Structure 1
Amino acid sequence: MNVTTLVLNTNGDPHFQSEEQYNIENLFEVAKEREMAVRQEGREWAAGAIPFFGKELVNAVKTGEHKDVSNAIIQMLMATWLFDFVYCGATAASYIKSDIEFTVAHDGSVAYNRIDAKNSAH
């Protein structure tokens, strides 16, 4: 899965951008350990995890630590998958055929779009 991430500054202008390939099937395996908690805590909690990790990303971008930035993107992607899977009916098959675009505001608010994968080999 290709993941494009754009972080905006306080003026709403692009501050940081990355484009990375992630093995979404590995993410599915790790996410299985968190699925029960997502179901137990509920929809609002699960939805709140996405901007929580958005804020972690903003903080990592500010410090410039590449490892922290990558980790925050992975966690945000996993939170998005779990929310979409548990509460929106997304399937693993649909995610495998998708890329995702994140836009993260300076306060951690996250907008995302899942689009058809650019490369069908995802």
Structure 2
Amino acid sequence: MEKAEIEKCAYCGKPGKEKGKFCSDECKRRYEKELQKDQRNIRYFLLGIGIGILCLFAGTIIGRKWAEGGGLILTGLTIFIFPFTTPETVKWLGYKRAKVLGRTLGILVIAAGGWILIGID
């Protein structure tokens, strides 16, 4: 027998009421506001990730650790500023907690880039 899945609020991650997607009208309003903001910022996220990956790739090809570290730091900063997560993560944790997780992972990527820069010969 399968366990009945408890519906969680899509914004805060708390158990929702009945079969609704949100636990309150306030959470619904905040969720919609955040989604609109995210849609405006997606191009900056993609640009930051793209440039960071290009720097990382170029640093690997030319053998420059500073470019590799800089690329990771730029990628981490982009993830920290625009902490977009997967729909599955949002469903699992709720929108707010998923953003916190995204920012935490961004900090870890920044730290990895700093570690590469500090390890320069």
User: TM-score w.r.t. structure 2 length?
Assistant: 0.38
Richer in strand (by share): 1
The higher radius of gyration belongs to 2
Higher relative contact order (CA 8 A, sep 6+): 1
